[in-house]
């Protein structure tokens, strides 16, 4: 076989189902149920009018400049853009973790991190969350070959968070960078976007996929001290973001009023979803993201997932060794939420 042994040995990351046809109520991959800010259409139209024969700005400077203002960063040199935040995670892993090195992640969390380590021929180590969703001290311990630590905050699939104080303590104790993955932070009560100013080891990644309703566009970014960003830039593809996505992403983050209103709606529906699930006897982890994790004490999760799918409601069934299985349900519109809860009522009360 032609491929590197690391590639042959790995299973490959499997993203959530993306049915391209059929009328599903789609609550399985934490997309935003609402259309994105209206300004992006004009931004894309203007881009098309200018034409696409030229390469895009390799650094996405229009976006970086606007984002630096919004996040009160000293300059655009604190930001690097990526083709979705998965691209950012890939770039960071490639830049920091070599063959035989060690990558650390909490457990349970985003499965992709392991695949990124495997592609590098690196080792990975999972540190289990405590029962109260805090992290043990071992998460911050130096270890042989440790080169990068990932921390999704809010975490997926739980929607729980680690405090800013703890994140600063972890970064202080670690011998390597700590990448705080803030894919869901716009639905949370606090963020760490300013913490790279306090510790050069802290990198913060963000995406427009979840909170801006732009998962189909592919745009993410990372914030870090300029000398850290400078090294990451060497690893990215020259033109990792296209002209259309740079223009649309710049227009999107400009509309902070849209973001605030969207956040308000999603959080309100999230609280209704959590309350509705609890009323049906589900155990629901309090979530700061746009999804909730739930289990039922007497009804197994997988048949519930399957029955919902047959009724054209798609949620995510997940089974984590040591942690158990359960359902991760994305927050939809109020109508989608009502449809979900009434079907669930018929399933668990049957």
Ligand X SMILES: *Cc1c(COP(=O)(O)O)cnc(C)c1O
| Separation CA 8–CA 349 (nearest Å) | 46
* Smallest separation, CB 93 to ligand X (Å): 13
The 3-class SS string of 240-273 reads: CCCHHHHHHHHHHHHCHHHHHHHHHHHHHHHHHH
* Smallest separation, CB 85 to ligand X (Å): 4
Instruction: List, in sequence order, the alpha helices (H) in the chain.
Output: 5-9, 39-50, 61-70, 85-96, 112-120, 164-173, 226-233, 243-254, 256-279, 301-310, 334-348
Of the chain, the end-to-end C-alpha distance in Å amounts to 52
- Based on CB atoms, which residue is closest to ligand X, 88 or 339? 88
Residues ≥6 apart with Cβ < 8 Å to 3: none
Contact call for residues 147 and 141 (beta carbons, < 8 A): no
* Smallest separation, CB 320 to ligand X (Å): 15
- Based on CB atoms, which residue is closest to ligand X, 110 or 282? 110
> Rg of the chain's alpha carbons, rounded to an integer?
20
Peptide bond into 108 cis (omega under 30): yes
* Smallest separation, CB 327 to ligand X (Å): 16
Q: Tell me phi and psi for residue 330, to 5 degrees.
A: -75, 150
- Based on CB atoms, which residue is closest to ligand X, 248 or 339? 248
Give residues in contact with ligand X (CB under 6 A). Answer: 84-86, 110, 152, 156, 181, 183, 207, 209, 215, 220
| 329: its two tokens | 């349900």
- Based on CB atoms, which residue is closest to ligand X, 215 or 292? 215
| Separation CA 161–CA 157 (nearest Å) | 11
- Based on CB atoms, which residue is closest to ligand X, 84 or 106? 84
* Smallest separation, CB 299 to ligand X (Å): 26
- Based on CB atoms, which residue is closest to ligand X, 111 or 307? 111
Contact call for residues 139 and 167 (beta carbons, < 8 A): no
* Smallest separation, CB 298 to ligand X (Å): 30
- Based on CB atoms, which residue is closest to ligand X, 220 or 224? 220
| 188: its two tokens | 């949370």
| Separation CA 73–CA 329 (nearest Å) | 34
| Separation CA 79–CA 16 (nearest Å) | 29
| 228: its two tokens | 């850290």
| Separation CA 118–CA 120 (nearest Å) | 5
- Based on CB atoms, which residue is closest to ligand X, 16 or 145? 16
* Smallest separation, CB 144 to ligand X (Å): 27
- Based on CB atoms, which residue is closest to ligand X, 152 or 213? 152
* Smallest separation, CB 338 to ligand X (Å): 25
* Smallest separation, CB 284 to ligand X (Å): 19
């Amino acid at each position: 076989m032609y491929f590197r042994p690391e590639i042959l040995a790995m299973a490959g990351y499997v993203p959530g189902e993306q049915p391209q046809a059929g009328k599903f109520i789609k609550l399985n991959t934490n997309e935003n149920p609402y259309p994105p800010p209206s300004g992006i259409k004009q931004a894309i139209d203007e881009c098309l009018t200018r034409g696409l024969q030229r390469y895009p700005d390799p650094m996405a400077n229009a976006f970086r400049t606007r984002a630096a203002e919004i996040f009160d960063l000293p300059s655009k040199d604190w930001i690097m853009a990526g083709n979705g935040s998965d691209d950012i995670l890939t770039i960071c892993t490639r830049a920091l973790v070599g063959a035989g090195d060690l990558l650390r992640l909490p457990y349970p969390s985003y499965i992709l991190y392991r695949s990124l380590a495997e592609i590098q021929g690196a080792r990975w180590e999972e540190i289990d969350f405590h029962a109260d969703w805090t992290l043990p001290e071992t998460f911050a311990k130096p270890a042989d070959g440790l080169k990068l630590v990932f921390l999704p905050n809010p975490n997926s699939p739980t929607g729980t968070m680690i405090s800013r104080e703890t994140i600063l303590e972890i970064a202080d104790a670690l011998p390597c960078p700590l990448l705080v993955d803030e894919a869901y932070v716009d639905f949370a009560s606090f963020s760490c976007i300013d913490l790279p100013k306090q510790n050069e080891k802290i990198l913060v990644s963000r995406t427009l996929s979840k909170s801006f309703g732009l998962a189909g566009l592919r745009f993410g970014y990372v914030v870090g001290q300029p000398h850290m960003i400078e090294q990451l830039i060497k690893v990215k593809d020259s033109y990792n973001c296209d002209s259309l996505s740079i223009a649309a992403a710049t227009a999107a983050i400009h509309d902070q009023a849209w973001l605030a209103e969207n956040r308000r709606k999603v959080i309100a529906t999230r609280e209704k979803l959590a309350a509705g699930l609890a009323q049906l006897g589900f155990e629901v982890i309090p979530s700061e993201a746009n999804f909730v994790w739930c289990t039922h004490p007497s009804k197994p999760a997988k048949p519930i997932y399957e029955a919902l799918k047959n009724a054209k409601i798609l949620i995510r069934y997940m089974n984590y060794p040591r942690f158990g299985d359960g359902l991760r349900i994305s927050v939809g519109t109020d109508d989608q939420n009502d449809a979900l809860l009434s079907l669930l009522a018929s399933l668990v009360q049957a």
